[in-house]
A and B are shown apart, each in its own frame.
Chain A
């Protein structure tokens, strides 16, 4: 039996624009939260952890990691015991667990800005936050936590510059301080009240790069 051709001559025009409108809404839904958070969110500053300079450039993007991205940095914080652990290794977190890291603003306002300090962790959204505190939501898997702030797409010339700057700072780092060394790299972001953050700029010493 041959498949009959559908009668296409009478296909009304709404059959195109209606699904196209749905598709347009889907596309617009992608950045809605990011735009909303950038306008209404609370600014935070994160200490950016040393990154492997060879791993920094991946195609068209820059990959960054934060101090609070390492589970090791969270183990000493209050609330660690309540987090769901990986069964075979209690040092690591269960895959795909949502955690909230409460950050506290520094008292000094400087330029470049001081990073916020992590004060406790929780598996549920904390409600009893002080005015100078904010809970950042992350997704933990084993020994790493991701906050959705890890990858940036920036123009090529800027990318090379950032890469050079970060490598420079990291190379100098061991001589400046005794361990643990904190290189002067911080990331500014805007975070919403439910803990989702979007990056706004990166500070490498006194140089500021806007995203």
Chain B
């Protein structure tokens, strides 16, 4: 990509070359045609005009906001409602009209910007309506309703920025609405919040396919897993191991066996777009969760004091019917995914290497889950528990590094390295070792990281040149 700065410099230099008779006028002309020197000034002028218009627009917007704020209380309620609605409809319509134009890039961008502004205006309008009628509801309900409104628009237009905004709003409403987590009385907010793992999956994952966006899929998967982990606090016992381990198992099972194929079957025929596969993202997130789980329980202290957080207990327990149903549904989905995976694995023997990885991951998860359940239900494992998790973590890190050498993926290599370094450093810091030994550990990890990184980069280069030669 040739930057504008480079073209400026080239024009300056080539003018000098021509003056010094290094190149002829013809050659200069050729350079000028190739790098479009004549448009350079025009573009700068356009940009300047654009900045001026943008600045003017911001000032005008501020003027309108200040004017409205100054007169807000003096206007009649009906007039205020009318104004809010006309602003909402006007800005969205203008944004839509500009976005629909395919002539200019800036028009589309401005259109998307206005549609985003319209989405923000939806929240402002809802808040102002509540204010005008003295409704003191919770902020979480406002964010949830606002997020739902933006989700509808994101679906209809298939716009990624609106989808991201919807994710943020729903997330804000969810994490802010702690009063609904254990609410005994069911309202629409408490249903949405208690069933969030499922609703996040239903709202955000199809949206990622609708927008064909990896970002939205990643956010959707994060929303589902984090909401799933949040439900651990609702169950009795409050022990991290007892509640978190089944949820980690479920989340990793859902992510690792995730398949795009039902979606391709459902959606792909209606459009000509080439589809992104979201399976690698789901797998990467699954590995990330696995790493977090193994690392979290590799600490000896974690097994001694299992209660990491406690919340005030009410004398009546929260009604968990909805949460149970949601976890049950997601477990059913995971079982379906794995059934489908087994069916495919039998029919497609060529993917044997991949099948082996899956088997290794599945047995790692099974060992971890069994260890936790043994510790909670049968006998405490204060020594063997952390030992098993340390071995699992080491195997995971080693497996990732090994996998990265086969596939040549940098991210996998570095995630494996980070896990390994974290494990070594954490163990050294956790057990009360000598300061001198700690300094050695730091030095060892630092040198190890540098050397292995350099080795990996060189390996990638030789690998690439070898494969070029062979082709």
- A residues contacting B by CB (< 8 A) are 1, 3-4, 6, 8-9, 11, 13, 15-16, 18-20, 22-24, 26-27, 29-31, 34-35, 84-88, 94-98, 139, 141, 146, 148-156, 198-199, 211
Contact = CB atoms under 8 A, between A and B. Distances in A.
B70 to A, nearest CB: 11
A59 to B, nearest CB: 11
B149 A26 contact: yes
Contact of A148 (B102, B137, B212): B137
B89 A20 contact: yes
B156 A19 contact: yes
A9 B101 CA distance: 7
A35 B133 contact: yes
A30 B153 contact: no
Contact of B155 (A19, A87, A95): A19
A87 B134 contact: no
Given A87-B314, A87-B315, A27 B135 contact: no
Contact of B148 (A13, A26, A96, A153): A26
A88 B312 contact: yes
A53 to B, nearest CB: 21
Contacts of B85: 24, 27
B149 A22 contact: yes
A148 B156 contact: no
Among B73, B93, B134, B180, the most chain A Cβ lie within 10 Å of the Cβ of B134
Nearest to A150: B136
A94 B315 CA distance: 7
B29 interface: no
Contacts of A139: 179
Interface stretch (B19-27, B41-49, B124-132): B124-132
Nearest to A98: B185
A31 to B, nearest CB: 4
A136 to B, nearest CB: 14
Contact of A84 (B185, B276, B315): B315
B7 interface: no
Contacts of A1: 274, 276
B312 A15 contact: no
Contacts of A86: 312, 314-315
Contact of A94 (B88, B157, B276, B316): B316
Nearest to A30: B129
Contacts of B89: 20, 24
A153 B132 contact: yes
Give the size category of B's interface with A.
35 or more
Closest 6 A-B residue pairs measured CB to CB?
Answer: A94-B314, A155-B73, A31-B133, A34-B133, A19-B153, A19-B156
Contacts of A153: 131-132, 134
B92 interface: yes
B165 interface: no
12 contacts: A4-B273, A6-B212, A8-B100, A19-B149, A22-B149, A84-B315, A87-B312, A94-B315, A95-B179, A139-B179, A149-B136, A153-B134
B269 interface: no
Contacts of A154: 73
Given A15-B156, A98-B185, A148 B88 contact: no
Nearest to B190: A96
Contacts of A141: 179
Among B84, B131, B132, B315, the most chain A Cβ lie within 10 Å of the Cβ of B315
A131 to B, nearest CB: 27
B121 to A, nearest CB: 10
Nearest to B211: A6
B156 A18 contact: yes
Interface in B120-164: 122, 125-126, 129-137, 145, 148-149, 152-153, 155-158
B279 interface: no
Contacts of B126: 26-27, 30
Given A27-B85, A88-B312, 5 more contacts: A6-B212, A6-B273, A8-B100, A9-B102, A96-B182
Contacts of A156: 73
Contact of B100 (A11, A20, A30, A155): A11
Contacts of B156: 15-16, 18-19
A30 to B, nearest CB: 4
A139 B137 CA distance: 11
Contacts of A27: 84-85, 88, 122, 125-126, 129
Nearest to A28: B129
Given A87-B312, A87-B314, A211-B134, A26 B145 contact: yes
Among A24, A35, A96, the most chain B Cβ lie within 10 Å of the Cβ of A96
B114 to A, nearest CB: 12
A22 B152 contact: yes
Contacts of B133: 30-31, 34-35, 198
Contacts of A29: 145
A9 B100 contact: yes
B179 A31 contact: no
A135 to B, nearest CB: 15
Interface in B290-331: 312-316
B96 interface: yes
B167 interface: no
B313 A20 contact: no
Contacts of B100: 8-9, 11
Interface string B324-346: 00000000000000000000000
B277 to A, nearest CB: 10
Interface string B78-116: 000000110011001100100110100000100000000
Given A30-B133, A35-B133, A11 B157 contact: yes
Contacts of A152: 134
Contacts of B122: 23, 26-27
Nearest to B103: A9
A3 B216 CA distance: 14
